[in-house]
Amino acid sequence: MAVTGQKIAPCLWFDTQAEDAARFYVSVFRNSKILTISHFNKEGHEIHGRPAGMVMVAEFELDGQRFIALNGGPQFKFSEAISLSVSCADQAEVDYYWERLTADGGQEGPCGWLKDKFGLSWQIVPDILPRLLKDSQSDVAQRVTRAFLRMKKLDIAGIEAAAAA
């Protein structure tokens, strides 16, 4: 499926949950919307095995970024080899995305990583972190790294305390 107005768009492979996932992500991110929902028809059933009328593709936009969700079947699963990174201005934003994306069966991971209820990996990153890590050899970066590696959900106060120590 070609996405209009954006040259590259991530395509997320689901078994049967493409529309549910798209609607969930649109509910989490502000300024987001479902763009199109297309369905399998009888053509190609011998190849894809999906019933006519089932959702094939849900195209959606999260805060200006377009995505494609495909009901491709059970052959492939998400892994941490790819994740979506969310930049957060403050702790309230970190908390918001962390809580929403781990809800209903999502899982916390280390260092600001989590998996949502569909198994997709996300990184919830406060904007301050990359700035403090810019000079990787500095004492500040060393202390900040030591601190955030011990966290699950990233805590800006803890990161700032490590930077100031």
Residues 6+ apart with CB under 8 A from 150: none
- Sequence ranges of the chain with CATH classification 3.10.180.10: 83-164
pLDDT digits (tens, 9 = 90+) for 15-61: 999 999 999 999 999 999 999 999 999 898 888 889 999 999 999 99
Q: Is residue 76 exposed (0-12), middle (13-18) or buried (19+ Cβ within 10 Å)? A: exposed
CATH class name, domain 11-71: alpha beta
Q: What is the pTM of this model?
A: 0.92
- Sequence ranges of the chain with CATH classification 3.30.720.100: 11-71
CATH superfamily label, 83-164: 2,3-Dihydroxybiphenyl 1,2-Dioxygenase, domain 1 (3.10.180.10)
pLDDT digits (tens, 9 = 90+) for 111-158: 999 999 999 999 999 999 999 999 888 999 999 999 999 999 999 999
